[in-house]
Structure 1
Amino acid sequence: MDVTRKRPPFCIGIGCSAGGLKAACEFFQQVVEKTGAAFVVIPHLSSEHRSKFSTVLERFTEMPVHRVEGEMRLEKDHVYVLTEDRMMIVEDGRLKVRRRYSTEIINKSIDIFFKSMAKAYRENGIGIILSGMGHDGIEGIKLIEDYHGLVIVQDPDTTDFNILPQAAINKDDPHMVLPPADIARFLLRYLEVQGQSELS
């Protein structure tokens, strides 16, 4: 089988922390069409117990949802969720995972993934910041924009925890600021247009 046929042309990274599960469910509930993209969710998780993030997310999407505990190849119209106590990058169409070091007291998992995605997918990398606390992801979205990718941030007024989205807006100039369901609808239109451009 030619693996390049299944390799997604777009990678959509979704970073969140507190309150992010609710926002992610609202987002995926509206992704009702095949986009050909791979969706990678990077939530901040407690390292002390097994996360149910992917299990809950499965109820809100028809796409296959994977807990990423080891190296995996990205496929179109699949959802990949980072697991607890892990850090992840994307390289050569594959997700690569390592344990979070004991020295990594501040969780920078969103930044680490977004930076790798920006380098690997360049203008076809899409970074989304949802509900959360802290400032993880700010460096990552700047690099995504440096490579001419797309950055979308959840409207802080629609979040349970607005520090992360507000910091992303203050530190950067995202292309769109929308509620989760509208982010999904915008992406469907955006990816459709991009697909048509590639065919023309």
Structure 2
Amino acid sequence: MSFKIVVIGTSLGGLSALQTVLGDLPSDFQLPIAIVQHRHKDSDDTLRAMIQEFVALKVREVEDKDEMLSGTVYLAPADYHLLVEPGSFALSTDEPVSYARPSIDVLFESAADVYGEQVIGVILTGANQDGMQGLKKIKARGGKTIVQEPSTAASSIMPAAAISAVAVDWILSLCEIAPLLVNLGNSIRK
């Protein structure tokens, strides 16, 4: 069985981290990537444009019921939770989780519910504990978990919280994450 999706969560310092990780992925990377980056509820399309400059893959903000396409990077829009459904995405304006909307936990938990062991969850730099519960659920469902080495993060709180709560598969510096994603994306598990 192969992987179906990569989910990434990040907050403070996330733009630079995403530019590094996504920028190191080849243009033929096949897995869809869904990202929650905490940002102000009134922010515009600037984040997408800033990431696209560094990334060979197509980067887009999710619209409700968007089909999940391979080799595409999907950003949760400001002030919406991003949920994974079979083959597509949904948006929600439910209450913030861990003071955040979009919430990393909401994305990760919905991905785990739909795709179980076919999910790769990644926690990057951030200044709160959002993502910890979601990563725990991905791990419990048999998915793979990757966390940025806290000492290399702009803010170590989020990666450290994830590591404290989850028996993480890999703890890596930013430059090590993309090569691992490529290897996992290319591997067909028996």
Q: Is this a same-fold pair by TM over 0.5?
A: yes
The TM-score normalised by the length of structure 2 is 0.92
Q: Is the counterpart of residue 179 in structure 1 residue 173 in structure 2?
A: yes
Deviation at 1:174, TM superposition (A): 0.7
1:71-102 CA distances to partner (integer Å, 9 max, x unpaired)? 2010000010011111111112111002253x
In the TM superposition, structure 1's runs of 4+ consecutive aligned residues that sit over 4 Å from their partners are: none
Contact in 2 for aligned 1:123/1:148 (Cα 8 Å): yes
| Aligned counterparts of 1:32 and 1:172: Cα–Cα separation in 2 | 29
Given the alignment of the two structures, is residue 114 of structure 1 paired with residue 99 of structure 2, yes or no?
no
Q: TM-score, normalised by structure 1?
A: 0.88
Unaligned runs of 5+ in 2: none
Question: Which SS does the other structure have where 2:53 is aligned?
Answer: helix
Tell me which residue corresponds to 1:87.
81
AA paired with 2:100?
A: N
1:1-200 to structure 2, matched below 5 A, reads: 9-101=3-95, 106-107=99-100, 109-194=103-188, 197=189
Number of equivalences: 188
CA distance in 2, matches of 1:69, 1:18: 24
Gaps spanning 5+ residues in structure 1: where? 1-7
How big is the alpha-carbon RMSD for the aligned residues of Structure 1 and Structure 2?
A: 1.8
C-alpha separation between the residues in 1 aligned to 2:60 and 2:184?
25
Larger Rg: 1
Amino acid at match of 2:87: G
Whole-Å Cα distance in 2 between the matches of residues 129 and 38 of structure 1?
16
Partner secondary structure for residue 73 of structure 1:
coil
Query: Which protein has the bigger helix share?
Result: 1
Contact 2:23 2:55 in 1 (8 A): yes
Q: Is the 8 A contact 1:45 1:51 kept in 2?
A: no
Structure 1: how far apart are the matches of 2:26 and 2:184?
A: 14
- Per-residue displacement from partner, 1:127-161 (whole Å, max 9, x unpaired)? 10000011111111111011100000001111111
AA aligned to 1:185 is P
Distance 1:145 1:9 in 2: 14
Q: How far apart in 2 are the matches of 1:9 and 1:126?
A: 7
Percent pairwise identity: 27
Q: CA deviation at 1:9?
A: 4.9
Secondary structure in structure 1 of the residue aligned to 2:117? helix
